[in-house]
């Protein structure tokens, strides 16, 4: 068998039904084990996780290395990426507000220290605040933001980890021109692009074209689907767009869903054409909404990867 050029990682959103209601996999060692077994059973090679789980890693597994050991004990290779979900706030943590930069830089110095015991590929960030906290999105603000991430990227590069940006449809940098401007301002050595197929699609940006244009900057993917494009003020809905937009109660679906808007075959073809090698992360955020189910969504998504996408490129 020829060497695989693509491996599949699972971004660890997860819920299962416990005796007292829905729980996540961090609920107990038992639920974590059941989660990892299921991920492994359908053929994922590794997982991605969130920074805010660090405390549970320390509390329950002795830290990131201990947790990665738990992952490996279930036959998975390792933790590939982490998502740094920050609480953006104009007062103290906002990439387009220079006064807050020192705090953000310090946050990354501390965070990377925690992760230094294992080897990650990427630390993923949403590069801007919520849209309504950044608008109007000006070239100046984009430039200030880019400068911040250049510095953060330098810090993470010191740990051998790439800083990569994930553009939520509701964040300040989500339109095609703003994304292009942002990458023009950032240093390719320090700032990469992480293509989330659904988020771009919701923001009316063609993820395939975006990827083809910036392929040399791309350090990873979230493959997930959506059935809806944001309309009107969906991307700037107060207080929240992700769960509370009036038009849409559930934005995200696993790939392979009927009526999905992402053209994954075209995406995979582009991945092949660019000779991308490495990890693709599968994500389906909030799969349990509206009667959905994480186990099933994960199996169906992995089926799609095995039966449709790997036919194109593997």
Partner 1 sequence: MAWSKWSYMDHWVTETPQGPQPPSFNRAHMDRYVKQLSALGFRGFDTFFFYLPMLAGMYGSVPAFERFLQDNGFDKITGIFSAYPYATRYTAPHVRETHDRIFADCEATVRAVDGLSVENFIVMPSTTYFQVEPVTEEKIKVMADLWNRVGRMTLEHGMKTTCHFEFWGAIRTREQLDLFFSHTDPELVFFFCDTAQHTIAGVDPVQMFRDYRDRCTGFHFKDTHTVDEHEAYRTPPDPELMAPEVTRWFYEMGTDGGLVDFPALMREIVASGYDGWLTVEHDKAELGGGSYAEATCVAKWYIDNVLAEVSR
Partner 2 sequence: MKDTLRWAYALNQWNFRLDVFVRHSDQLRALKTLSACGFDHVELPAGTGRWDNLARPEVILLNHGDHAGFLDFLRRGSVRGVSSVYWDPGQPVEEEGWAFRSTANRHDHDAIVESAKPFVEFCAGVGAEQLVVRPVGSAWMSPPPDAHGLRTVGELWNRVGELAAAVGVGLALHYDCLGAVHTEAELVGLLEATDPALVGLALDTAEFTIGGIDPVAFYQRHAGRVTHVHLKDTRYADTGQEYRMPGAETTMLRGGAGRRIERWFFELGTEGGLVDVKAFVAALRSRAYPGWVVVESDHGGNPAELAMLNSWYLQYELSVAKS
Partner 3 sequence: MTGIRWGYAINQWKPQFDDFVRREQHERALKTISIAGFEGVELTAGTGRWEPLGNPQQLAANFGSFAGFREFLAGCGVPAVSSFHYDPQQRSMEHLTGPLSPLAEADVPAVVARAVWFAEALTQLGGSVLVVRAAPSAGDDEPLDDAALHRLAACWQTVGRATLEHGVRTALHVDFLSALRSGDALDRLLERTEPDLVGLALDTGELTVAGIDPLSIVERHGDRIRYVRFKDALAVDEAEEYRQPHAEYAVRQRGGTREIPRWFGEPGIDGGLVDFPAVTRALLAARYSGWIVFASDPSPHPAASALLGGYVMQRELRPIANGR
List interacting residues with partner 1 (CB under 8 A).
289-292
Residue 134 · residue 128 · CB < 8 Å: yes
What is the length of the chain?
314
Q: What are the start-end ranges of the H helices in the chain?
A: 29-41, 54-61, 64-73, 101-115, 131-134, 139-157, 176-185, 197-202, 207-214, 264-273, 294-304, 310-312
Strands 6-11 and 218-223 turn out to be unpaired
What is the smallest separation between the CB atom of 67 and partner 2, expressed in angstroms? 19
Q: How far is CA 276 from CA 188, 259, 290, 311, in A?
A: 17, 27, 35, 15
The pair of structure tokens assigned to 194 is: 């992480």
Residue 266 · residue 208 · CB < 8 Å: yes
Kindly tell me which residue out of 95, 127, 153, 256 binds partner 2, with binding defined by CB under 8 A: 256
Does position 300 interact with partner 2 (CB under 8 A)? The reply is yes
Does position 75 interact with partner 2 (CB under 8 A)? The reply is yes
Kindly tell me which residue out of 89, 135, 296, 311 binds partner 2, with binding defined by CB under 8 A: 296
The number of beta carbons lying within 10 Å of the beta carbon of residue 293 is 14
Does position 85 interact with partner 3 (CB under 8 A)? The reply is no
Contacts (Cβ under 8 Å, ≥6 apart) of 41: none
CA atoms lying within 13 Å on the CB side of residue 182: 32
Kindly tell me which residue out of 5, 29, 37, 238 binds partner 2, with binding defined by CB under 8 A: 37
Does position 89 interact with partner 3 (CB under 8 A)? The reply is yes
Does position 160 interact with partner 3 (CB under 8 A)? The reply is no
* Closer residue to partner 2 (CB): 73 or 106: 73
Does position 307 interact with partner 3 (CB under 8 A)? The reply is no
What is the smallest separation between the CB atom of 221 and partner 2, expressed in angstroms? 19
What is the smallest separation between the CB atom of 314 and partner 2, expressed in angstroms? 13
Helices 207-214 and 176-185 sit at what angle, rounded to 10 degrees?
Answer: 20
Q: Which does 291 bind (CB under 5 to 8 A by kind): partner 3, partner 1, partner 2, none?
A: partner 1
* Closer residue to partner 2 (CB): 37 or 103: 37
* Closer residue to partner 2 (CB): 78 or 143: 78
Phi, psi at 210, each rounded to 5°: -60, -45
Kindly tell me which residue out of 5, 62, 85, 92 binds partner 3, with binding defined by CB under 8 A: 92
Does position 41 interact with partner 2 (CB under 8 A)? The reply is yes
State the binding string over 249-278 for partner 3 (x if CB under 8 A, else -): x-----------------------------
Binding site for partner 3 (CB under 8 A): 15, 17-24, 27-28, 30, 56, 59-60, 87, 89, 91-92, 238-240, 243-244, 249, 286
């Amino acid at each position: 068998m020829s060497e695989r050029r693509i491996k599949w990682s699972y971004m660890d959103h997860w819920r299962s039904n416990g005796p007292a209601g829905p729980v996540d996999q961090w609920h107990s060692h038992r639920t974590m084990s059941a989660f990892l077994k299921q991920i492994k059973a359908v053929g994922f090679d590794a997982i991605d996780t969130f920074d805010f789980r660090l405390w549970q890693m320390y509390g329950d597994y002795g830290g990131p290395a201990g947790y990665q050991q738990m992952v490996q004990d279930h036959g998975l290779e390792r933790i590939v990426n982490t998502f740094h979900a920050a609480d953006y706030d104009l007062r103290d943590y906002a990439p387009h507000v220079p006064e807050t930069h020192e705090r953000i830089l310090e946050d990354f110095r501390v965070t990377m220290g925690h992760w230094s015991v294992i080897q990650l590929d990427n630390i993923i960030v949403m590069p801007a605040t919520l849209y309504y906290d950044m608008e109007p999105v000006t070239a100046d603000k984009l430039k200030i933001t880019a400068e911040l991430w250049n510095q953060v990227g330098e810090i993470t590069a010191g740990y051998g980890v790439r800083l990569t940006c994930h553009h939520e449809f509701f964040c300040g940098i989500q339109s095609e021109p703003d994304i292009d401007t942002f990458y023009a301002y950032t240093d390719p050595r320090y700032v990469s692009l992480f293509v989330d197929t659904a988020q771009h699609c919701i923001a009316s940006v063609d993820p395939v074209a975006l990827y083809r244009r910036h392929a040399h900057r791309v350090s990873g993917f979230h493959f997930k689907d959506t059935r809806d494009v944001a309309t009107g003020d969906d991307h700037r809905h107060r207080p929240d767009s992700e769960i509370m937009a009036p038009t849409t109660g559930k934005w995200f679906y696993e790939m392979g869903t009927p009526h999905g808007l992402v053209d994954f075959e075209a995406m995979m073809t582009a991945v092949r054409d660019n000779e991308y090698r490495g990890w693709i992360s599968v994500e389906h955020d909030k799969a349990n909404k509206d009667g959905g189910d994480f186990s099933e969504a994960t199996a169906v998504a992995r089926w799609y990867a095995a039966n449709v996408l790997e036919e194109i490129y593997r």
